[in-house]
Amino acid sequence: MDAMSQLRRQLHEHTAYLRKEGFLDDQFEQLQKLQDENSPDFVVEVVSIFFEDSEKLLNNMARALEQKIVDFKQVDAHVHQFKGSSASIGAMRVKNVCIEFRNYCEAQNVEELFGCRCFRCIQKLQYEYALLKNQLEYLFRVEQQIRAAGG
């Protein structure tokens, strides 16, 4: 198998893997369908915006949870935004953690247990996001290699 076919197979298999493991859902495929000759970098551009937004939101969430008196409405607002952007690119696992997180915030229960749950949620969120970022960056590297090889 030549290098190009190998790369293409890598790309195909990895995308399928990400779909199967639930990292990405149909929405990601919609983004790929929108990409065309006039906007050949559309997916990478959108995902880059997602990375920027996500990092900002995760920082904001962490800071809000560090306050002596936590403003859960504020935390919830950040998670809501994150849920929206992850849904927009098809980041299913991240989106689902956001939904779980919001359920805790909405409960507005100021017990220590609840506070711990929030912290656990944000850790889960950070973990899932880091995983996804890794996966997508790998995907884009393979795509780049294909393009560089004339594909």
Partner 1 sequence: MGMAAEAQFHVLAVDDSHLDRKLIEMLLKTSSYHVTAVDSGTKALEFLGVHEDEQNQANTPSVFPNDHHQDVDVNLIITDYCMPGMTGYDLLRKIKESKSLKDIPVVIMSSDNIPSRINRCLEEGAEEFFLKPVQLSDVSKLRPHLLKGIAKESQPNIDNIKAMEESHSPDRTRTNYNGLEVA
Give the binding site for partner 1 (CB under 8 A).
27, 30-31, 33-34, 36, 39, 42, 45-46, 49-50, 52-53, 80-81, 83-85, 87-90
Q: Which is nearer to partner 1, 7 or 89 (CB)?
A: 89
Query: Shortest Cβ distance from residue 115 to partner 1 (Å)?
Result: 26
The DSSP string of 105-149 is: HHHT--SHHHHHHHHHHHHHHHHHHHHHHHHHHHHHHHHHHHHHT
DSSP-based three-state secondary structure for 108? coil
Distance of CA 11 to the CA centre of its chain: 19
CB of 31 to partner 1, least distance (A): 8
DSSP state of 1: -
**Distance (Å, whole) CA 132 – CA 102:** 20
Residue 85 or 135 having the CB closest to partner 1: 85
CB of 5 to partner 1, least distance (A): 30
d(CA 101, CA 96): 9
Q: Closest separation between CB of residue 39 and partner 1, Å? A: 7
Question: Which residue, 7 or 28, is less far from partner 1 as judged by CB?
Answer: 28
DSSP code of 67?
S
Residue (7 or 43) nearer to partner 1, CB: 43
